[in-house]
Structure 1
Amino acid sequence: MSADSGWNADEHVRFARYRQAFDEVAPADAAALVARVLTDPDKGMANSAVCEYLDRRAAELLADPGYPSWCLEMTRAVMADDFCTRRLNEWTLLRAMTLDEPWDVESLLTASNWLQLHTAERSLATSPLQILAENGRTRRIRNIAQSRLSAAQRSTSTEPDR
């Protein structure tokens, strides 16, 4: 996406253009595009467009060895934006939990509802599910985590010993 001499007044048009640009961007150009979008005068819309990209790309790279270098590059691009920085940090926490790498319980407990819900709905790791079943921020998060934890424990107890 080239630099505009002026902004289209309609944020919906800009958002659509940003989404298309993120769909087409080469990995080597992604950080520059993220930084460019974050200069949009409508901060909420810009955050939304960037976080949509971060969510898609982080999900694709979550267990990939390329995630750390991508994350470092994106961290530099979003450093002036607290919301996008937090989202990227939460993806990194999710990666650690997913790969059974060291992570901090307090980080999960103070994470956004988005991360807690995402973890409760999708994690296969019993440790974060146990923590969220007991201490998730909302009743919905606690219930989903408890249900998935119970299902995981049932499937583990019915598997034959090897």
Structure 2
Amino acid sequence: MGHIDWDDASLASEDEHVRWSRYRQIAIEAGRDEAVAGELLQRLPADPDQSMVSAVAVELVTATANHLARHEDLASWAARHGDALRAYPFAAARCDEWLVRKSIDKGGDPADLRGAGDWLQRSVAECSTSATALALLAVEGNTRSIRRTAAARGR
């Protein structure tokens, strides 16, 4: 680990589906290896399909958040890669949402869920063990599905 073969033919392909598949594999590896994450974030701006690259950046954030169990570790990672992530606003926002989720998971204030996006609320409703967060979402969740899921898990 720690090095990506950027001469891989799949990354040079004109077919964005081929590049997407390879980028996704790299993003998953990069979630476990910060050197690969750094390489990936440096390389993404050169790809001609910036919509796809934005999705790759989200995959990287998700893979990293799933790998780093502690809020503090993800916050540190985000601080180190924040400049590169800001080039991809949706990925930067998803990273912020992961930080809120991890904060709630470790006992942080679930009031941050008020007005939060559906992804964050759904993620907390489906995965969190915070009784306070589930109670809040059971009443104030953005969608009926979020409220129902939170209420069922909070029982």
CA distance in 2, matches of 1:108, 1:67: 19
**What TM-score does the superposition give when structure 1 sets the normalisation length?**
0.78
CA distance in 1, matches of 2:148, 2:132: 15
* Deviation of 1:57 (Å): 1.5
**What TM-score does the superposition give when structure 2 sets the normalisation length?**
0.81
Larger Cα-atom Rg? 1
CA distance in 1, matches of 2:148, 2:46: 39
What is the RMSD computed on CA atoms of the aligned residues?
Answer: 2.4
Structure 2: stretches of 5+ with no match in the other structure: none
The 1:104/1:133 distance shift into structure 2, 3 A limit, reads: closer
Question: Which residues in structure 2 correspond to 1:109-124 (within 5 Å)?
Answer: 109-124=114-129
Q: CA offsets, 1:108-135, max 9 Å, x none? A: 1222211111100000001111111111
CA distance in 1, matches of 2:45, 2:140: 34
Partner of 1:19: 24
2:88 aligns with one of 71, 81, 88: 81
**Seq. identity, %:** 33
AA aligned opposite 2:76: S
Question: Which residues in structure 2 correspond to 1:1-162 (within 5 Å)?
Answer: 1=4, 2=6, 8-25=13-30, 26-63=33-70, 65-101=72-108, 103=109, 105=111, 107-150=112-155
AA aligned opposite 1:16: S
Q: What is the aligned length?
A: 147
CA distance in 1, matches of 2:92, 2:118: 16
The DSSP-based 3-state class of the residue aligned with 1:34 is helix
The DSSP-based 3-state class of the residue aligned with 1:66 is helix
AA aligned opposite 2:104: M
AA aligned opposite 1:141: I
The 1:138/1:39 distance shift into structure 2, 3 A limit, reads: farther
The 1:3/1:81 distance shift into structure 2, 3 A limit, reads: farther
Q: CA offsets, 1:15-58, max 9 Å, x none? A: 11212323444322313312422553323322222212211220
Q: Does structure 1 conserve the Cα–Cα contact (< 8 Å) formed by 2:57 and 2:88?
A: no
Between 1:65-74 and 1:91-100, the stretch displaced more is: 65-74
Structure 1: stretches of 5+ with no match in the other structure: 151-162
